[in-house]
Every structure is written in C-alpha cells, then in structure tokens.
C-alpha cells in the first residue's frame, strides 16, 4: 500500500463531533457557566459601549501603558473569543438567550463597520488617529483575526452568515490594504493571529485571496528592511522599543524560514507557527515544514515544561534561556499552552506523527485545561508547577485573554480529536465521542469512541459506514504507552513494528459493526528532566497516561518539599476522588522529613529524621479545585 | 568569681586596633582603591554640586520615583559613608590628597549649614519646600545619621573636630525639633539610622541629650496614633502608601517593644535593632533586650540565608515568609548583612554570647564582604547563592548605598573584633591584629593575635600589660568548633564545661609574656537547612570554619546542579588558590550526571548516568573574582 507524501489532513468541523465522558463534562461546564460568564464580564468591562455605535464612546477606560497602548485595544479579540465559545456551546446546548445576545453584538459590529470594510471598535471609536500607526504594538490585525475565527465558528454552529460576511469584508479590506503592490503596506501584525484566521476563512469560504494574504503576512515577516523598525522611525518612535529584544519578542527579527530558535512572547510564537503549519499543509511547502521541525525540536527539547507549559518568564510573557524552567515562578500562560495545542494540531496536517500529537495531548491535559476551574467559573492566567499556597484562579483579569481561549478550545475539541485526508481518518486523541465523517473518496461513516479515558486506557472504536467502504483509520500509540494492545474485530494486531510516526494505520474495507479495541496501559511512571534543568535536579514528576500529577496540601498537609519518593512508585495504588469529578488519584508510600524532630535551628549538620507516610497525588490540571494549600509537581526522588 | 549582670561592653575605637593578615589585605584594598573610588564616583554622580553652596544647584538629577522622591535624597548619606571610609583608611594609610578632599567637603557642609543647625543638602538646595514633609519616605534624618557617624569617625581618625561640631549642631537642632514637648514633632525617620548614630555621638561627646533623643525615636516608633499615618493625612497623601504593608516596611506598625517578627525592609530593620541594642546596653533596658532576643530568634531561625544574607525579596528589599529563602533570586543586600553585623555586635553589649558573635562572623565573612571585589573596585548590591553566570559586581549603582557600607565596615573592623567592659576584654573575632587597651579598672595592655585565620585555625594571643594587672579575657569558642583546644602559657584549659554563652572567660593577673594558644579545627562540614526551606531540600552547603563554600564555573565547568556530593566530604582535601589571595579551596570527589549521555530528550524515564569527577569548592565570598560562570552554594547531596 502506498501512502501519498502530500496528504493534507484538516480538522473535522466542530459540529461533526459529539463529545461525552471526561471532555463532555468540561464542555458542559463551559456551556453551563463559562460561556455566559465570559459575555457578562466583557459587558461589565464596558466592551459593549466601545462596540455599539448607538451609545457614546466610553473613551480610554484602561490606562495607557509603558508601550504606548492600552489592553483596551484587545477588547474586540476578547469579545470575539467569547462569541466563538458561544458558537461552539450553542451547538452542544442550544441557548436562545446567549444566541440572542451574540446576534445583538454581531449586529453592532455590522453597523459599526466602515463602508470600506474596516472594522475595529477601538480604532474607530476611541483613537481613530492611531489607525495603522503601530502594527508592532497595537494588535489591530490581531483583533481582526480573532473576529474572523469567531465569525467562521458562528457560521458553522448556527448557519447564520452575517458575521462571516462582515469579516469577509474586513478580510477583503486587508487584501487590498496589504501586499507587494504599489500603495499597499508591506506590514504585518506584531501579535500574530490574523494569519491562521485567514486560513480558516479561506477554508470555509473557498476564497484563495485570504489564503494568499496569510501567506504574504508569513513570508514578509522579518524581511529586511524590517517593517517594525521602519514604522517606528516613520512615526518618530525609538525603534529599540519598550521591550528588550523587541523584534524577537514578536518573532520578526529574521525571515521566518531563517528562524531556528523559539524566542519572544510565547503566545505570539505559537500563533505564528500555527499559521506556518497551516500554510505548509495548504501549499505543501517543504521549506516551512523544515523550519517548523527545527523550531519544534527547539521548543520541546529545550524550553517546555513537563506540563506542556511554555514561556517561563513574566517579563516578556515568553522564552528565556535553554533549560530555564523555574517551577514556582513559572509564567506558562494558559494561552501559550492553548497555542501549543493549536500548533501541534496543525503540524499533523501533513500526516499523523505522534511526535506532535503526544505533545498536543500533554499540553491540552496539563498546560491548557488547568486554566479553567472545574466549575467553569474561574481561570488561571499563569500556571506554576509549585505553589506555597498563594496561587489561585481569578474571577477576571485586566488582560482577559486566557478565559475565552481555553473555553473555545474545550468546546471545539472535536476538531483536535479527529483529522481527515482524502481517504483516511486520523484519531489523534482518545475521548468518548461520535464523529460523523464524509471523506473526499466518498466514504461516509460514523466513528464512535467508547472510553473512560484519561482515567481508563480501554478504548473501543466502532466504525459504522452507511455502506461498506475502503479507507484508512490511523490510531496514535502514545510514546508512553509501552505494551499497548490492539485488536480489530477481536483479532490482535502486532504493534512492535509501528512506524517511526507512532501511528497504526489500518486500511481496509470497513463495514457496519467493525470494532477496534485499543488498550493503553496507564501504569504511573516517574519522569526525569534533562540534567541541565537545574530546577528539577534530583526530582521526578509522576505521570499516568497523558496526565502530570502533583501533590496538594489538601491531601498531604504542609512541607511538600520534605517528601521523598524513594521506591514508593512500585507500591502505588489508584483510587477514585469523588470531589474531583471521579478523577483517579495515585496513592503511594513515601518518606517525609520531620520538621518536628528537626528542632528550631535553621541550619544544622545532622540529616533530618524521616518518617514513613502515605502521599496522595492528583492530576495537576485539577489542582486548586479544593481547599487552598501547597502544590508540587516535581517531587524529590530520594 | 562573680560576674556583674549589668556589664556594659562597648567596641574599641577603630584607631585602637591595627589589623594584618586576611583582614589587613581587605583593608589595604579599601585604602588603596575603594576609598578614592567612592569619592570619585560620588563626584561623578554630581553630589558635590548639591553640597557646595558656592556653585549653582544641579536640580533634580535622578528621576522622581513612584514613592514621590528620588534616590538623590540619599546623597548626603552616600557621601557621609564615603567620608567615614576615608576616615578609617587615613588612620591605616595616611593619604594627604584624600584627607584634603574630605576636608574640602566638610568645609562645604559647614558653609551650607543653616544658622539653626539644620543640614541636608537635598532639602536645602533642591527641594526646600519638602523639608520635614515626609519623614516616612524622604530619609531626612537617615542622612543626618550617616553624617553624624562620619563626623565621629573623622574626629577619631584625624583629631579634627570641625565635622563633629557641625553635626553636633544638627543634633542639637534635632533635640529641639523632636520630642514630647509642646511644638515639638513626635515623629521619627522611615529609614532608621539616626538612632544608632546619636548613640555614637553621645558616647564620643558625653552629651546625654543625644542618647535621650535616640531613645525618644525608638520609644515613639509605632505608637498610636501612628505618626506616618497622621503625617500622610496632614499632607494629603494616601496613608496606604506606595508599598504593600507600608508600616511593616519601616518597622513602625507597632511599638518596638511589641514587635516579635522581623518584617519589612531588611536594612531598616537591622539599623533599628542595632539602636535598640545600644540603648538596651546604655540604659540596661531589659524590656528592649527581651524584645531583641525574640526578634533575633525570629531572624536567625526562620529568615536568614546560610551566608548571613537577609531579606530575600527585591520587591521590598526585605523579608517575606518564614523559610522562604530562594537562592537564585536572593536579594540579600550587602547592606543588610552589614547591618546584621552591626546588630550582632551590639547584642554583645550586655555580655559575650556566641549566639550573636557566631552570626556576626557568619554575616561578615559570607553576607557582607562578598559585596566587595578582591581588588576593592567593584561591588555586589544583591547576593544570590546560585547564579547561571549572569550576576557580576557593579562599577556603581543608582542607589550606591552598599559600596561605602561594606568599605566602612572593613576599615573599622577592629571595633567588631574587640569589646571592652570595666574589667574585661572580649575577643569576638579571630584575626591577625594588635589591640591597645585601657580598661576602666586601670589595666593597660596590648593584646596581639597572631593567626592566619580564617585559612588556619591556629591562634596565638599575647597579652602584654604595661604592669601586671587583673582582668578577664573572654574568648569565643564558635559553635562549629567542636574539639577546640585552649592553652594558657602552655597549660591546657578544659573546654567541656563552657557556659551556655559559648565563651571561655579567663580572669587572672596577666603579665607580660602571657600567651593563650587557641586551636579551632577547620574540618569541612556539610550543613543542612530546616526541612521547611523548600529551596534547599535534599541539598547541603559545605562550610569550613566560618566560611560558606561554593562551586564556581571557573573550576567546575557548566551544570553545577548535576553534581552530587555523595560521600565525597570524607575524602576532601584542601589546597591553596594563589589567584584568590591564598584562599583555601576544598577539593573532593563527586558524581556528576552526564548531559552528554542523556541525549536530546527534555524528559525521560531513565535516570541520568553519572560519572566520577573531582569538584573544587571555593569560599563563597570570593566568587566572581575570576572568570565569569555558574555558581552554586547549596549542592545536591545524593
């Protein structure tokens, strides 16, 4: 059997996948709580006053910062991501009131839009004189990108075209405004986002000019003379800017194909690489793919937390030095892990590789979903891997980018579980779900996963074609799942000759009643970090399947750094935690240094006495959902 | 023999002690380089323009900060500490040019002084309208304090009274300005310093009103209604202030005798406690002593680095939570450890206790002198216990408080080695030196220490009275010096019945030729931190005598956190390091995790392979005097 080298995998549309089980619970939390919460808090923040052309402008509500702008410039993006969340949630749980409110906002945007298609509530209503004056810092195209994504989602979920038509006009405006032609700007946005949004819009509308504009933005980025340097000079600003390494900060220090190190603001980097991966797929662009492979290795081999968190530093919301991964001060913004999920998903566009899907899963379960409380009501912005008990989820944030970002990811998860090519469906993630699929080769089928994953590793996949049909089903065998077992209709398939890509590709004529049984062993395992990661020296992180575990004060009291794993892992047992929605805990015997026996001295020559105690570990992403207290991922080994 | 409970120990004046050996080298570095450097850099910073009434005022040179003032307000203190350093250095190494320059500045101050005695160059020449408007933040009395200290030192070193007379007039002004009487201010300075300075001035001049004013400032601090709250309201400022916990920040949240937790800005706390200890001695004030004993335990049992560094946080230049002692981000300001030496020294005022003197030595050798490069030319402001190679000494600092502070400590070290009571001399520190002493009981003698301490633990102390005389010599036996040996004129003295105070008190009739031989074993030892110090979990610090050791990249390459001590300490050997002025290194076999064998993965289940290598440890206080690179104090145990 020959596999085309130019396969193009694209996500299933969100409405094609129904989700239950573990992720169904998360989707319910977002539908029942987060979606409305987001909209309410956007309204409380006075965003509607900025958008609605029928009320007086609120003026500058949030202060002008050292970079010359205000986070109020991002309001359209916050509102757009909230509408995108509502769109997905409407599909799962119809909600007339939410839909009415979204329609009302969309009507405002339609009314606000200029005759030439331009649309940005801040620059139209608050600071018209700043329009296109500072692409580097002012997020003008970034906002358009998020509005485009929301518009596509809203169309897919409701069938209503109005918002997508509005944003298509804005996209047309941008197609005219930006380009290599005379009178056009050869610029791009300091915060990448519009690029991947234009790909989504092009895929939905079939309008190639949107795809080409995305390619223009990517190709132009970092070319000499540097647009941001020229722009700063033209507007009389110091080109050195307000942030150290201002060009690296926005990945515009070199043409993208010459970049080999992941630098700068983490979310920006992820959004850029996501667009690059989309374009690599759409244009079969090997030069982009080669660059992305280098950047992928740079990120995942030198700069990523075990949680899939990225960007350790608060100062630039981004990357620092190789192997610099402090746990207690980790920034590891929720949005950055969401962005890593985006990028990883898009790296699968040219064919399934567990290199990407394993990391997508790692970031999804540990770096991203951690940003949301189980009840869907509060949010982490930064995600440390150690806490002395003072870090808790927020109700809201001055820059509320993370809450709607994790919410839209959760509610659109179907698109990340499954991708399809002409004659193939790839199952990247395991989750209770039903996918309704029609392939380009004509095969039409329902694929149903029955599983309690991630708590259980037993997965049954039923393939039910309307009529028997030939296509391939590719299943990821995670790298951690040694001794995984696979049967098709009860017949074992030997996995030892898995390809380097780590997927089992089952190509056959499928008929109703066909069942794939996959068993992924979920033995708890201890993971160690590269010796250069000084913060994790002598420490291990316990994982089970894709989940990173942690100790919490709620189960283990104070002094988590006094706990020594020793050889307790071999005696680990699992237990269900009812107050964490049935999550699986890992209980194991450990040693604990006794503070009581130590006495008053701060320093002494004697070793601390230890006592044998039991420790309980819980999934990291569920921490801070019970009583506040200490938390620790990297526990001492011995 | 009966020992008075009300002994009062006071430091020997600086000119009474000549120093050689290890500290002599440091004093030479300050005399030869630092003293002039300080003055030159004060001049470059334009301080003279502010002081000199015969030139135009420079205006506000340094920017107004978020707290409403500018570090330019501290210039008199920087200049004063520089003059104090020069004073001590003149005594050791006469330098006509430096003395001339100091005299010139003193002349300027004398000319600048108002008729009523008021003297502060910033408030006289830059912002007269701000005078006495913000005692909490503006350091007005703090500057006076440092100028008083400098004036006393200059008088002691040169015999010239001019500066002391000037500052006595300023002190008289303050005696009239502050107090309980009608029309007097019941205020005190946000940055303590004047209190301990007034004690010095009172001791030198015999003027009790200065001592009483010091007592007033200490007694009034934190009394209700809180002066700083009332002051803020009176001047229309938000009493909550610019700093979190603004009253704790300056130890004015409660009357000092009700304080039991060391809080706020570390240097301020040390200067306050130093004054309280002086007053406890001068007034035999048991209520102050009891408070100080509580605060001492709080600091040294819960909030002090093993280096004697204190104040882990940059945000408040001070204290945070108990047991919160991060190594790589440690603030541990040089001035704060200098202040701890001040406080510890003064806690000895009511009798020798190694509880205080051991910590004084620890802070002196590890927290304080680290702030000065061996050549006396560059300075650390903050003193982390771990570095990835980016932390280096500064030429100068926007707030240059630390350079002259460590310089004046080094050049006045004689005062910290010896203290005297009516019939007793206490030897708190061991150092090559000669002390010329006259006790109140009439005994007049020279005490000479011959030693290569801290490199060697052999100390010979010769007592040479002009005429045979009876008095006590008290010698500290450090807590770490188990199996110390002591002989007087060749006769062993058994040490097992040392008092709780940890001093051997030898009272006898001394005659010329009497010799005490003390041997302190300097075996390297591993020190562990309390189990609650999470940053040091599983780690040890290697000490030898009073010195904390560290690994440096210069000797050990990269990846210091990959090094495991194992059982290498038993095989430790010492070696002289010629390029660190003959310091003693500790060489020992260790294991090192191999980054090369690990491969590319950032995370893996296998343990890292280790290889046997040799590690070299050098005294922490001498780090960053050779090639730049990593540094680590707390090394992994196993």
Instruction: Write the residue in A304, A528, A602 that is nearest to B608 by C-beta.
Output: A528
* pLDDT on residue A604: 96
- In degrees, rounded to 5, the angle at the alpha carbon of residue A29 between the alpha carbons of residues A24 and A35 is 120
Q: What is the mean pLDDT of residues A380-409?
A: 92
Residues of chain B contacting residue A546, judged by C-beta atoms under 8 Å apart:
none
Integer Cα distance of B607 and A36 in angstroms: 48
For residues B553 and B631, is the Cβ–Cβ distance under 8 A?
yes
Residue B42 reports pLDDT greater than 80: yes
The model's pLDDT over B448-464, given as tens digits with 9 standing for 90+, comes to: 999 999 999 999 999 99
Instruction: Write the residue in A529, A598, A602 that is nearest to B300 by C-beta.
Output: A602
Integer Cα distance of B161 and B106 in angstroms: 11
The model's pLDDT over A338-368, given as tens digits with 9 standing for 90+, comes to: 999 999 999 999 999 999 999 999 999 999 9
The model's pLDDT over B593-632, given as tens digits with 9 standing for 90+, comes to: 999 999 999 999 999 999 999 999 999 999 999 999 999 9
Instruction: Write the residue in A531, A559, A560 that is nearest to B559 by C-beta.
Output: A531
Phi, psi of B488 (to 5 degrees): -115, 120
For B408, the 3-state DSSP assignment is helix
* pLDDT on residue B3: 64
B569 to chain A, any CB pair closer than 8 A? The answer is no
Phi, psi of A363 (to 5 degrees): -70, -35
Integer Cα distance of B162 and B242 in angstroms: 39
The model's pLDDT over B271-314, given as tens digits with 9 standing for 90+, comes to: 999 999 999 999 999 999 999 999 999 999 999 999 999 999 99
B483 to chain A, any CB pair closer than 8 A? The answer is no
B302 to chain A, any CB pair closer than 8 A? The answer is yes
Instruction: Write the residue in A304, A324, A602 that is nearest to B302 by C-beta.
Output: A602
* pLDDT on residue B50: 97
Residue B234 reports pLDDT greater than 90: yes
What are the strands, taking DSSP E only, across B489-582?
491-493, 503-510, 514-519, 525-529, 539-544, 547-552, 563-564, 573-577
Q: Annotated catalytic residue: which of B31, B174, B401, B402?
A: B401
The model's pLDDT over A187-215, given as tens digits with 9 standing for 90+, comes to: 999 999 999 999 999 999 999 999 999 99
* Minimum CA–CA partner of A390 in chain B: B321
The model's pLDDT over A66-121, given as tens digits with 9 standing for 90+, comes to: 899 999 999 999 999 999 999 999 989 999 999 999 999 999 999 999 999 999 99
DSSP A96-120: HHHHHHHHHHHHHHHHHS-TTS---
The model's pLDDT over B132-158, given as tens digits with 9 standing for 90+, comes to: 999 999 999 999 999 999 999 999 989
Integer Cα distance of B637 and B564 in angstroms: 6
- Is the CB of A527 less than 8 angstroms away from the CB of B607? no
B391 to chain A, any CB pair closer than 8 A? The answer is no
For the beta carbon of residue A44, count every other beta carbon within 10 angstroms.
10
Residue B437 reports pLDDT greater than 90: yes
For A544, the 3-state DSSP assignment is strand
Residue A2 reports pLDDT greater than 60: no
Q: Does the annotation count A317 as an active-site position?
A: yes
**Cα–Cα nearest to A428, from A379, A355, A369, A494:** A355
Rounded to whole angstroms, what are the CA distances from A390 to A188, A631, A633?
Answer: 40, 10, 16
Which one of B530, B543, B548, B598 would you mutate to disrupt binding with A, by most A Cβ within 10 Å of its Cβ? B530
- Is the CB of A602 less than 8 angstroms away from the CB of B526? no
Q: Annotated catalytic residue: which of B231, B317, B386, B552?
A: B317
The model's pLDDT over A446-499, given as tens digits with 9 standing for 90+, comes to: 999 999 999 999 999 999 999 999 999 999 999 999 889 999 999 998 876 676
């Amino acid at each position: 059997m020959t596999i085309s080298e130019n396969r193009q995998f694209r996500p299933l549309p969100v409405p094609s996948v129904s989700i239950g089980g573990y992720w169904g619970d998360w989707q319910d939390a977002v539908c029942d709580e987060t979606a409305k919460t987001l909209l309410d808090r956007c309204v409380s923040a006075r965003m509607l006053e900025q958008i609605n052309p029928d009320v007086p402008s609120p003026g500058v509500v949030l202060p002008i910062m050292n970079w010359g702008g205000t986070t109020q410039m991002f309001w359209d993006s916050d509102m757009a991501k909230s509408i995108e969340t509502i769109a997905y949630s409407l599909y799962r749980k119809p909600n007339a009131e939410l839909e009415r409110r979204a329609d009302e906002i969309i009507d405002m945007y339609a009314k606000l839009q200029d005759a030439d298609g331009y649309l940005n509530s801040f620059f139209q209503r608050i600071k018209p004189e700043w329009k296109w004056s500072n692409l580097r810092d002012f997020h003008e195209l970034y906002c358009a990108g998020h509005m485009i994504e929301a518009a596509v989602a809203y169309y897919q979920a409701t069938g209503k075209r109005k918002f997508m038509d509005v944003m298509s006009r804005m996209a047309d405006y941008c197609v005219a405004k930006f380009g290599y032609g005379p009178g056009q700007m050869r610029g791009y946005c300091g915060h990448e986002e519009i690029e991947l949004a234009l790909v989504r819009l092009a895929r939905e509308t079939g309008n190639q000019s949107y795809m080409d504009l995305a390619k223009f933005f990517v190709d132009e980025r970092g070319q000499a003379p540097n647009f941001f340097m020229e722009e700063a000079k033209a507007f009389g600003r110091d080109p050195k800017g307000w942030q150290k390494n201002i060009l690296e900060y926005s990945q515009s220090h070199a043409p993208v194909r010459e970049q080999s190190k992941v630098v700068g603001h983490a979310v920006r980097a992820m959004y850029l690489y996501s667009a690059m991966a989309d374009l690599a797929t759409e244009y079969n662009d090997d030069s982009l793919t080669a660059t992305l492979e280098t950047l992928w290795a740079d990120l995942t081999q030198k700069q990523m937390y075990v949680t899939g968190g990225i960007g350790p530093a608060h100062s630039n919301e981004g990357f620092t030095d190789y192997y610099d991964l402090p746990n207690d001060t980790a920034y590891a913004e929720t949005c950055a892990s969401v962005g890593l999920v985006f990028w990883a998903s898009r790296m699968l566009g040219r064919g399934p590789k567990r290199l990407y899907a394993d990391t997508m899963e790692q970031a999804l379960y540990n770096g991203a979903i951690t940003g949301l409380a189980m009840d869907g009501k509060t949010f982490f912005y930064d995600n440390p891997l150690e806490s002395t008990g003072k870090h808790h989820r927020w109700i809201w944030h001055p820059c509320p980018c993370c809450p709607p970002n994790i919410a839209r990811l959760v509610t659109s998860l179907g698109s990340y579980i499954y991708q399809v090519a002409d004659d193939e469906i790839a199952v990247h993630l395991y989750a209770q779900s039903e996918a309704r699929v029609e392939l380009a080769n004509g095969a039409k089928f329902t694929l149903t996963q029955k599983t309690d994953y991630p708590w259980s590793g037993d997965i049954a996949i039923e393939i039910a074609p309307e009529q028997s049909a030939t296509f391939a089903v590719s299943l990821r065998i995670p790298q951690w799942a040694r001794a995984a077992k696979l049967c098709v209709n009860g017949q074992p398939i030997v996995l030892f000759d898995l390809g380097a890509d780590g997927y089992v590709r089952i190509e056959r004529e499928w008929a109703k009643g066909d069942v794939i049984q996959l068993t992924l062993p979920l033995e708890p395992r201890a993971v160690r970090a590269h010796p250069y990661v000084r913060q994790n020296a002598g420490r291990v992180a316990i994982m089970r399947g894709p989940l990173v575990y942690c100790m919490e004060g709620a189960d283990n009291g104070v002094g988590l750094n006094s706990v020594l794993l020793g050889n307790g892992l071999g005696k680990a047992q699992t237990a269900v935690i009812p107050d964490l929605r049935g999550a699986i805990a890992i209980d194991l015997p450990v040693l604990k240094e006794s503070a009581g026996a130590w006495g008053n001295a701060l320093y002494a020559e004697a070793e601390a006495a230890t006592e044998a105690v039991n420790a309980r570990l819980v999934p990291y992403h569920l921490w801070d959902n019970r009583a506040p207290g200490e938390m620790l991922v990297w526990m001492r080994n011995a």
